A and B are shown apart, each in its own frame.
Chain A
Amino acid sequence: MNSEVSQVLSKRNLDIVNASLKRRHAAESRFRLYGLLSIGAGILMLVILLGSIFGKGYRAFSQTYIGLDVHFDPAVIDPEGLRNPEALAGADYNALLKRSLGELFPEVTDRQEKRALNRLVSGGAAYSVRDEVLAHPELLGGTSRLWVSAGPDVDMLEKGYVDRDAAEAERIMKDRELGWVDKLKADGRLERRFNVKFFTAGDSRDPEQAGIWGALMGSLYTVLVTLVLSLPIGVAAAIYLEEFAPRNRWVDFIEVNINNLAAVPSIVFGLLGLAVFINFFGVPRSSPLVGGLVLTLMTLPVIIIAARSALKSVPPSIREAAMGIGASPMQTVFHHVVPLAMPGMLTGAIIGMSRALGESAPLLMIGMVAFIVDIPHSIFDPATVLPVQVYLWADSPERGFVERTSAAILVLLAFLILMNGTAVYLRRRFERRW
């Protein structure tokens, strides 16, 4: 082809290219716009979700307290005068609180009104008085100002959930009660403080007494059991399947089944756990042990699949290098391949753990949905976990549980972020370039 012809041809080609250029640029910027829009929509959803949860939940971190001048009358709590701790523990502290309230509002004499007055203080307040007495027996016989949790209605009023302008009949608090609260406030006997109980207590029927510590510990034990079981088993299975197993029909069959297991609805694992672990092996019901076992079953496929793909991504040249100087297959795998695949394996394990931490459905099947007040101290104690606690509270009718549900979700999210942060840190440490 001579140069003249080629020049003409390239000129014409250039025209064609230029003509289509505008369209191509437009398509590109359109695509970028779509991308930005979808990311923006995602971020917006996240902000709305987090905003609503936080908006509802942050109030649960504070609690209204009422300051009462309690007279520790030995006649009431220690009639025998022996200061016997058992007797002290079993005494009627409610009476002390009632008497203090009665002294504050001497005008209340009606039986019904008295009951309403007593409801200003939480039903669990007597326990905190008892704990105070048990901790400081020298208080006996004296009088001191104690701050006890206010009742749910007072708490709601303080947090602004009660509309004072509504008609009296439609309010949970009547004018009379509002008057008492206002008087307490005027006396400086009403305060909002940080809700320590929320982080230290177990579950309770009373929202102001309910905490997430029990569920948190339950989650911790359950995830620990899951991690200890699923990580070694999953990684070992992945290494065997990827590096040592012969390629035949059986291995293919196992592979297909592992992939299918990853897609099985989690509640099915719960049924399996109920049938096998509890009914057949007799593992204690509702315990983190059985929960961990069930979640292990659920997490294993995820870990195996992630670990296998991590092993696959190790360049074959490393294997060849090790084999080439006479390393055995075992040495090749454990000296060279596994260390390089570690970051990927850990990522997979953490994803599996996060899923396990957020899972509730299979745990419902094995009794971890029970109302458990005590804080579990081992993997054999009955326990519940954070997502199930959220589910339970969301189901409760009391107004106070609404904000606690959101607060529990916030704690769960913080837990997840902590775990993922650990994962990222570990991955960075293990990551090596080659």
Chain B
Amino acid sequence: MNTLAESSTVQSRESVKMKSPEKEALIAAHQREFTKTIGEIASPNPRIAAREVNVYYGDKHAIQNIGLDIGHNEVIALIGPSGCGKSTFLRCLNRMNDTIPGCRVTGSIRLDGQDIYEGGLDVVPLRAQVGMVFQKPNPFPKSIYENVAYGPKIHGLASTKAELEEIVETSLRRAGLWDEVKDDLAKPGTSLSGGQQQRLCIARTIAVGPEVILMDEPCSALDPIATAKIEQLIDELRELYTIAIVTHSMQQAARVSQRTAYFHLGRLIEVGETAQIFTNPRHPLTEDYITGRFG
């Protein structure tokens, strides 16, 4: 199975060299066959629908032909070894890859039916719709209040001070942080503990009213209790938002997600119900990864 994956990267390297359209079409067709995902990629009620997404960093084919739906009020976990493209795929969903020079994305990603890679689409409202929480808690070096209020301010979501205060309070409440910080809103965000900082970042994301929240290994820098709090929060937020989470912890993927997608060397190997993926994966690569036999 490993040789299969290797030969596919060789394939992609060759495809970069060849220019003739017939050959390219042939290779594309071959690759579609080659990069077929096991399991149901479609969702009955998709919020995000990605089809045939390819990402190139210069000559490197980082993501090959990925198709995946993310349903309403669903938590989907993206797992896989380092460098498998899961974070790259996640960053495609709110076009954070735009900032990386030499990065090229092909295929279609639709958010509520609207292609987000369509020419002329502004990324600013997109990023308000599709928020992102990062690996390292990264509050602004400002007060807790300012951290949460910044997003609504730049988007003009509040017309009066009272409205802004209400948004801040609601966001902090939803992030489960209000009771801990309501008396210290003027304190710098960086003075909080790591777990609180991450919840502050989640509150900051919620404050601009997104539909989708992307989380890139949100708990990798946190202790187990703080992690559990974030996981509980994710479970609560599922009622209101669609969540895609990249994680290195299979335990965490198993705990928080309804569906799990396994990435390997830029391909989406297998998607399925989380319970099925973790008890009875169908692809040997998934099996090796989740049982700890990878490598």
Q: A–B direct touch, CB within 8 Å, in complex?
A: yes
Interface centre among A318, A323, A433 (most CB of B within 10 A): A323
* Nearest CB on A from B121, distance (A): 13
Across-interface contacts of B123 in A (CB, < 8 A): 326
* Nearest CB on B from A101, distance (A): 73
Kindly state whether residue A325 has any CB partner on chain B within 8 Å: yes
Across-interface contacts of A324 in B (CB, < 8 A): 94, 96, 127, 131-134, 205
* Nearest CB on A from B124, distance (A): 5
Alpha-carbon distance between A322 and B147 when the two chains are bound, in angstroms:
10
* Nearest CB on B from A45, distance (A): 41
Chain A: CB-nearest residue to B152 = A325
Contact indicator A325/B141 (Cβ below 8 Å): no
Across-interface contacts of B151 in A (CB, < 8 A): 325-327
Across-interface contacts of B94 in A (CB, < 8 A): 324
Contact indicator B124/A326 (Cβ below 8 Å): yes
Per-position 1/0 for A299-341, Cβ under 8 A of B: 0000000000000000101111111111110010001100010
Kindly state whether residue B140 has any CB partner on chain A within 8 Å: yes
Q: Which of B1-31 contact A (CB under 8 A)?
A: none
**Interface residue from B141, B190, B208 paired with A326 (Cβ < 8 Å):** B208
Per-position 1/0 for B152-172, Cβ under 8 A of A: 001100000000000000000
Alpha-carbon distance between A433 and B126 when the two chains are bound, in angstroms:
31
Kindly state whether residue B139 has any CB partner on chain A within 8 Å: yes
Contact indicator B127/A325 (Cβ below 8 Å): yes
Known: A318-B140, A320-B134, A323-B96. A433 touches B208 (CB 8 A): no
Contact indicator A325/B136 (Cβ below 8 Å): no
Contact indicator B154/A326 (Cβ below 8 Å): yes
Chain B: CB-nearest residue to A328 = B124
Alpha-carbon distance between A321 and B125 when the two chains are bound, in angstroms:
15
Known: A326-B151, A326-B155, A434-B190. A321 touches B131 (CB 8 A): no
**Interface residue from B136, B150, B190, B208 paired with A335 (Cβ < 8 Å):** B150
Contact indicator A325/B101 (Cβ below 8 Å): no
Across-interface contacts of A192 in B (CB, < 8 A): none
Across-interface contacts of B201 in A (CB, < 8 A): 321
Contact indicator B138/A318 (Cβ below 8 Å): yes
Alpha-carbon distance between A321 and B138 when the two chains are bound, in angstroms:
6
* Nearest CB on B from A242, distance (A): 13
Q: For the complex, would chain A's binding face be called helix, strand, loop or mixed by DSSP majority?
A: helix
Alpha-carbon distance between A93 and B283 when the two chains are bound, in angstroms:
111
Interface centre among A315, A323, A325, A340 (most CB of B within 10 A): A325
Contact indicator A317/B150 (Cβ below 8 Å): no
Alpha-carbon distance between A433 and B191 when the two chains are bound, in angstroms:
10
**Interface residue from A315, A323, A328, A335 paired with B99 (Cβ < 8 Å):** A323
* Nearest CB on A from B100, distance (A): 11
Chain A: CB-nearest residue to B148 = A325
Interface centre among B96, B128, B150, B155 (most CB of A within 10 A): B150
**Chain B interface residue bracket vs A:** 20 to 34
Kindly state whether residue B61 has any CB partner on chain A within 8 Å: no
Across-interface contacts of A429 in B (CB, < 8 A): none
Chain B: CB-nearest residue to A324 = B132
Q: Which of B53-68 contact A (CB under 8 A)?
A: none
Contact indicator A320/B138 (Cβ below 8 Å): yes
Across-interface contacts of B205 in A (CB, < 8 A): 324-325
Chain A: CB-nearest residue to B123 = A326
Known: A324-B96, A326-B155. A434 touches B141 (CB 8 A): yes
Kindly state whether residue A432 has any CB partner on chain B within 8 Å: yes
Across-interface contacts of B155 in A (CB, < 8 A): 326
**Interface residue from A247, A327, A433 paired with B154 (Cβ < 8 Å):** A327
Known: A321-B134, A325-B208, A434-B190. A336 touches B127 (CB 8 A): no
Alpha-carbon distance between A325 and B138 when the two chains are bound, in angstroms:
12
Contact indicator B136/A317 (Cβ below 8 Å): yes
Across-interface contacts of B199 in A (CB, < 8 A): none
Across-interface contacts of B99 in A (CB, < 8 A): 319, 323
Kindly state whether residue B267 has any CB partner on chain A within 8 Å: no
Contact indicator A317/B138 (Cβ below 8 Å): yes
Kindly state whether residue B47 has any CB partner on chain A within 8 Å: no
* Nearest CB on A from B136, distance (A): 6
Chain B: CB-nearest residue to A432 = B141
Chain B: CB-nearest residue to A340 = B141
Alpha-carbon distance between A325 and B154 when the two chains are bound, in angstroms:
9
**Interface residue from A247, A320, A326, A432 paired with B128 (Cβ < 8 Å):** A326
* Nearest CB on B from A42, distance (A): 36
Contact indicator A433/B134 (Cβ below 8 Å): no
Contact indicator A321/B128 (Cβ below 8 Å): no
Across-interface contacts of A318 in B (CB, < 8 A): 138, 140-141
Alpha-carbon distance between A317 and B101 when the two chains are bound, in angstroms:
17
Alpha-carbon distance between A340 and B134 when the two chains are bound, in angstroms:
20
Across-interface contacts of A315 in B (CB, < 8 A): 138
Chain A: CB-nearest residue to B126 = A326
Alpha-carbon distance between A327 and B141 when the two chains are bound, in angstroms:
16
Kindly state whether residue B86 has any CB partner on chain A within 8 Å: no
Across-interface contacts of A323 in B (CB, < 8 A): 96, 99, 127
Contact indicator A325/B128 (Cβ below 8 Å): yes
Contact indicator B125/A326 (Cβ below 8 Å): yes
Alpha-carbon distance between A335 and B149 when the two chains are bound, in angstroms:
13
* Nearest CB on B from A138, distance (A): 66
* Nearest CB on A from B26, distance (A): 34
Per-position 1/0 for A14-38, Cβ under 8 A of B: 0000000000000000000000000
Contact indicator A331/B190 (Cβ below 8 Å): no
Alpha-carbon distance between A318 and B205 when the two chains are bound, in angstroms:
14
Kindly state whether residue B259 has any CB partner on chain A within 8 Å: no
Alpha-carbon distance between A324 and B136 when the two chains are bound, in angstroms:
13
Kindly state whether residue B204 has any CB partner on chain A within 8 Å: yes
Given contacts A320-B138, A326-B126, A327-B151, 15 further A-B contacts (CB under 8 A): A247-B101, A317-B134, A318-B138, A318-B140, A318-B141, A321-B204, A322-B140, A324-B96, A324-B133, A325-B128, A325-B151, A326-B124, A326-B154, A326-B155, A328-B124
Give me 28 A-to-B residue pairs in the complex whose CB atoms sit less than 8 angstroms apart, sorted by A's number: A247-B101, A317-B136, A318-B140, A320-B138, A321-B140, A321-B201, A322-B150, A323-B99, A323-B127, A324-B94, A324-B96, A324-B127, A324-B134, A325-B131, A325-B151, A325-B154, A325-B205, A325-B207, A326-B126, A326-B155, A327-B124, A327-B150, A328-B124, A328-B154, A335-B154, A340-B141, A432-B141, A433-B190
Q: What are the 3 closest A-B residue pairs judged by CB atoms, nearest first?
A: A317-B138, A326-B127, A324-B132
